[in-house]
Structure 1
């Protein structure tokens, strides 16, 4: 994330001589030119890239988690990194938080793959990457953990909490050391909250405003998803035109918007119509993301909520609605409504302000914003809606989750690895073994037999010399390929979970398989034993 910041920040700092996100300070030709160049460079890049590399962002992370066991291709993350950097440097109304989630999740999945971890290990590291990315962006470690559970996994998983917390804290420390503190609000700017009827009336007005903005944001995107099959040149050119118009008439709507909100709260920025900025920012962000620009929407929606909070505070008397407080409440409500992540929104504003003053009104606006979105607009998280539009589920069944959280060890049986020609003394030693099966190799094929069958073959020596007898010097040996009937059995690498094992049985129709635990060790897994385990576990 520090490198991501550098790629975005340094060009604007040294070549344009402006702070990151300070697009309104540029000349109008620069603003229009940057947006046009960014959109058309992205169109060229996506035209040259194969279609499989076009998929990026948070919905893609959830898709790979649910349908591909958390395997996130590295090249898609590379595309996400540079395409988001181009869009952000060009002033497009997108955020860096969504790309950060993709990058963090890819890193976690890559490390898990290299370490050959089971499926629950893959999911743990993926959650660590997501939480670390959010923590690095906002410097809010607990909110990063909750975001991973509420937005990506859509459930709380206790067994992942400790490593995810550790990842989140470390990411925050590194971000603070490398990037510096990211304080949008100061403690002094938030006065003591006096709970009153007037305050909650103002909060309810804010909730209604936020819900209407969220509905506008979601429905604008959903109406644009239908054009995803259109040429990338047409779609990105439309974004360039829309962004250029905003750059000419309302440059404060460009970029993620953090600087505009911060300056508005400090009194440095005077707008002739804050409501117009809120509407333009909402529609422009939805238009940009909906037409396929590979950027995030978490940051812009956060800022839209903050601006909406300021607008509501300005309507009411200062003694009722503190501007900084309502900016916080608007940010929390907008995040909760758009992503259905209530605890993440609540904890984020507490960590950002290092104050608990806003907890009660924040809970009020968060709960009502989430409920109204579900009851009146029947809307889930924007990421869930996106996956549903693509015909995919954002969650997995409890049965799949149970299988993913177990390795093959509970259903694996130990086997003895024997040479094809074995000394008689070693065969006799099998009588004291507790292992039921033996395996041996014939012409690069593995054969499976019961241990008791080897001992029964040895007893046939009482009837006289046998065809399987092999004499080597003064030692007598048994040729297992001649001594007993055996079954050809395939060998596979150890699957990451019982889900993968069950999928293999369903695909091949084989009754049993040898799982290579190491180069010289095997375990036997049978479909019958797997079914027994699932029925016993219910």
Structure 2
């Protein structure tokens, strides 16, 4: 109810009109800062609700920490998994196809191809389907759904405030950063995630509003959910950069590289079965998950509990390597088959387990094992999503320590470099969009057009009635506009102001055919007084990209655009081309 009230108030403010009247082409930092803070507040609250929906039932069922599915009886594990897959299959069967699109790839698609307009109902589907999968113990994460929910929140807020394209992108970025920050309580990593994973480039002009959103969401999450101490790293207090350390790091890079390739290639192969019935796909996921639930339950869920227990010595598995392989394949299989969940958390877990394995092989104490767990987490996340800085900062913020920076940079950079050079592998989200035949980034020219309204290329026009009083026509001599428009027979006509004045001067030679007498006095029939051209009238485009697309599609050279303040503007292809050449 409060959100609807906020939305109504924002809609009434009409920031787009204010933008056009007082701001530069795409810059009003104060408005964006305020809205970014509001977006961060709502993102934090939304993630707290998501946590409650997912983890309160889990805590009630398990009676212990999050994701401890291995502590449940076998029949409970199998029942939860089968029940979750059945409900998800039923939901996606009943829902129309457009509502099936959820997750990070959908956010990037809407950002690049639909002006950042994210439908609310897709977010509702994402919320509940992800919650069902997480409660059921499927090997998925909560971060992808968080991104979708935060992005939708920012998109809706921008639409209600009627922001131009640049404002929409900024608030969408604020929503994503706020959601990631609330989930991990890592404000800087949330900001970097937006640039490296969603926008695929660094945008300096987004930074301040996005930072405000990220910090606000973190504070909300910290106060409602409580502090999230992912892993204790008291053992990593001092670090000696020895040759042996970097030999072990090189081995970790190779291990992470193999796991990343398996994780990504398995999903790419599974995408080919997206046309298969949802019942068959989710039944196969249920079968594979149930086998894991019986023989290796530590591979279920999305939390860090198994990794934390392993580091503390409380968890002993028969084969750590087997757990790593099963977790990697099971997560790739679950996501690849279409279960609506995230991948960031699972990649952290897989990388952390891989780091523990390498630490046990090369290390002699708990310090080395903890260190390599952190390095593995950062490297796996960075390699799968091509987000090196996000992974590095996330590890530093989650562990509250900078002791691992140098070796972490070594494994992150080397892993990202090798997978791109030798396997030509992009981020898993980019690969997914490429598989769907969609572009994932825009050229600088496209982005330039998207970030400008029609204001720089629009000129004022004066609207006259078809029968204009002579006195009003004489007033045109003191007006500086170039064109006037009038409507006749439901068709708008464009005429030059000087042509109307030239016609007025012909009165000196005697009465003219365009001269008529009305009850109010003598008037000019503008349609007969001067040559005119028909002109189209369209709603104000969201950006210059839309305006250029309209010109290219229609082949026309001029158009009239009515503005919210009841004025009219003339936009011509000639002025648009001049503006682009001047800006270039």
Normalising TM by the smaller chain, what interval? over 0.9
Cα 1:435–1:492 shift into 2, 3 Å: same
Superposed, 1:448-487 pairs within 5 Å as 448-473=494-519, 475-487=521-533
Aligned counterparts of 2:212 and 2:526: Cα–Cα separation in 1:
54
Aligned counterparts of 1:473 and 1:508: Cα–Cα separation in 2:
42
Match of 1:48 among 91, 94, 98: 94
Q: Deviations over 1:67-117 (max 9, x none)?
A: 112111111111111110110010000000001111111111122222222
Partner of 1:199: 245
Give, in angstroms, the shift of residue 307 of structure 1. Answer: 0.9
Give, in angstroms, the shift of residue 412 of structure 1. Answer: 0.9
Q: Deviations over 1:24-79 (max 9, x none)?
A: 11111110000001011111111111111111111111111111121111111111
Partner of 1:186: 232
Partner of 2:434: 388
Cα 1:474–1:228 shift into 2, 3 Å: closer
Partner of 1:208: 254
Give, in angstroms, the shift of residue 321 of structure 1. Answer: 5.8
Superposed, 1:29-48 pairs within 5 Å as 29-48=75-94
Partner of 2:312: 266
Aligned counterparts of 2:233 and 2:331: Cα–Cα separation in 1:
30
Partner of 1:426: 472
Partner of 1:438: 484
Aligned counterparts of 1:214 and 1:321: Cα–Cα separation in 2:
25
Long gaps (5+) in structure 2: 1-46
Aligned counterparts of 1:505 and 1:166: Cα–Cα separation in 2:
39
Superposed, 1:170-319 pairs within 5 Å as 170-318=216-364
Q: Alignment partner of 1:446: what SS?
A: strand
User: How many correspondences in the alignment?
Assistant: 538
Match of 1:518 among 564, 577, 581: 564
Q: Alignment partner of 1:493: what SS?
A: coil
Aligned counterparts of 1:465 and 1:477: Cα–Cα separation in 2:
12
Q: Alignment partner of 2:234: what SS?
A: helix
Match of 1:336 among 360, 377, 382: 382
Partner of 1:503: 549
Q: Alignment partner of 1:181: what SS?
A: coil
Aligned counterparts of 1:321 and 1:12: Cα–Cα separation in 2:
32
- Is residue 2:543 matched to residue 1:489? no
Aligned counterparts of 1:37 and 1:474: Cα–Cα separation in 2:
79
Q: Alignment partner of 1:237: what SS?
A: helix
Partner of 2:58: 12
Give, in angstroms, the shift of residue 16 of structure 1. Answer: 4.7
Aligned counterparts of 1:350 and 1:332: Cα–Cα separation in 2:
10
Q: Contact 2:62/2:69 (CA < 8 Å) preserved in 1?
A: no
Cα 1:235–1:255 shift into 2, 3 Å: same
Q: Alignment partner of 2:217: what SS?
A: helix
Q: Alignment partner of 1:248: what SS?
A: helix
Q: Deviations over 1:488-528 (max 9, x none)?
A: 22222221111111111122222211112224111111112
Q: Alignment partner of 1:525: what SS?
A: strand
Q: Alignment partner of 1:188: what SS?
A: coil
Aligned counterparts of 2:279 and 2:538: Cα–Cα separation in 1:
46
Match of 2:403 among 357, 361, 364: 357
Q: Deviations over 1:108-135 (max 9, x none)?
A: 1122222222111111111111111111
Cα 1:223–1:421 shift into 2, 3 Å: same
Alpha-carbon RMSD across the aligned residues, in angstroms, is 1.6
Q: Alignment partner of 1:201: what SS?
A: helix
- Is residue 2:153 matched to residue 1:98? no
Aligned counterparts of 2:176 and 2:235: Cα–Cα separation in 1:
31
Q: Alignment partner of 2:538: what SS?
A: strand
Aligned counterparts of 1:19 and 1:422: Cα–Cα separation in 2:
79
- Is residue 2:220 matched to residue 1:146? no
Aligned counterparts of 1:264 and 1:307: Cα–Cα separation in 2:
9
Aligned counterparts of 1:474 and 1:325: Cα–Cα separation in 2:
90
Aligned counterparts of 2:550 and 2:337: Cα–Cα separation in 1:
39
- Of the structure 1 ranges 481-490 and 455-464, higher mean CA displacement relative to structure 2 is found in 481-490
Partner of 1:326: 372
The runs of 4+ residues in structure 1 deviating greater than 6 Å are none
Partner of 1:410: 456
Give, in angstroms, the shift of residue 463 of structure 1. Answer: 1.9
Long gaps (5+) in structure 1: none
Partner of 2:9: none
Partner of 2:121: 75
- Is residue 2:170 matched to residue 1:124? yes
Q: Deviations over 1:371-423 (max 9, x none)?
A: 11112222111111111111112111222112112211111111122233333
Partner of 2:107: 61
Q: Contact 2:62/2:71 (CA < 8 Å) preserved in 1?
A: no
